Amino acid sequence: MALELWTSPTPNGWKVNIMIEELIEVGIDVGPVEVRTIDLMKGEQFEDDFTERNPNQKIPTLRDGDRDVIESCAILQYLGEKHPSSLLPLDERKWDVLPWVYWQAANVGPVFGNKLSYTRYMDDVPDIKKEHPLERFNNEALRLVRVLDGKLGDNPWVCGDEFTIADIALYPWIRGWKWSKVNITNRPAVMEWVDRVRARPGVERGLGYGIPKEEIDQWSAERKARTAKGGSTIADNENIKDSIE
């Protein structure tokens, strides 16, 4: 029976696409995967058939036989346990990996998501009302990037020598640093890790689900122009204290 993935080209969606492709890279036959793109702008996540699968009404959601699995990081763990591989060790070493997956879900996703929203998607909110949340989420995002930089240290991947679901959980949010205006340029380990992850063939394919190749790394000029205005005047890192230290 096919895995049914209902998703959209967004950071939480990309995690699962990348996981499927990285499993294939390590030689695992995940079987057929049926991908249905959910149009978030049209509100398809609120429709009855989606809500029946995921009462939280957010992508991604996975159906495997009779089981629905919601929450992108739970889906990473589910697939990692179903198909044992270096992406998630199932012995004692899983405790080197899972805390960083939870760290992403509890911190990086919400904080980068909020920073992005106030930076790009709240055109109709006056700048004065955005100043506090922008500074708060920017400072917290910079703190999280500093933690990630320290965790990476001289290692190629977040949890050491192996690429794991911790890298898969974190990458789709961190890769959008320019778009969310979170300045990571003074964190060389993070900058190099972003390039290293991006160079993986499984990541390339995962990011590309349903997207024309020329649009994989950035939206079309037309789509960017439509959303570029939001928060741009005060979300510039030049105007925001870029460190809480």
Ligand X SMILES: N[C@@H](CCC(=O)N[C@@H](CS)C(=O)NCC(=O)O)C(=O)O
Dihedral, CA atoms, 17, 114, 155, 146, nearest 10 degrees?
180
Residue among 42 and 92 whose Cβ is closer to ligand X: 42
60-119 residues near ligand X, rule: CB under 6 A:
60, 71-73, 105, 109
Residue among 73 and 144 whose Cβ is closer to ligand X: 73
Q: How far is the CB of 43 from ligand X (least distance, A)?
A: 7
Determine the 3-state secondary structure of 167 from DSSP.
helix
* The only residue of 58, 151, 175, 181 in contact with ligand X, by rule CB under 6 A: 58
SS (H, E, C) 78-123: HHHHHCCECCECCCCCHHHHHHHHHHHHHHHHHHHHHHHHHHHCCC
Residue among 12 and 85 whose Cβ is closer to ligand X: 12
* The only residue of 3, 5, 23, 59 in contact with ligand X, by rule CB under 6 A: 59
Q: How far is the CB of 182 from ligand X (least distance, A)?
A: 16
Determine the 3-state secondary structure of 75 from DSSP.
helix
Q: How far is the CB of 78 from ligand X (least distance, A)?
A: 12
* The only residue of 5, 12, 79, 197 in contact with ligand X, by rule CB under 6 A: 12
Q: How far is the CB of 161 from ligand X (least distance, A)?
A: 26
User: What are the C-alpha distances in Å from 214 to residues 16, 43, 51, 203, 239?
Assistant: 21, 26, 33, 15, 32
CA–CA distance, 76 with 168 (Å, rounded to integer): 8
Determine the 3-state secondary structure of 49 from DSSP.
helix
Q: How far is the CB of 58 from ligand X (least distance, A)?
A: 3
Is the Cβ–Cβ distance between 58 and 8 less than 8 Å? no
CA–CA distance, 66 with 44 (Å, rounded to integer): 22
* The only residue of 4, 10, 179, 205 in contact with ligand X, by rule CB under 6 A: 10
**Interface with ligand X includes 40 (CB under 6 A)?**
yes
Question: Which residues lie near ligand X (CB under 6 A)?
Answer: 10-12, 40, 45, 58-60, 71-73, 105, 109
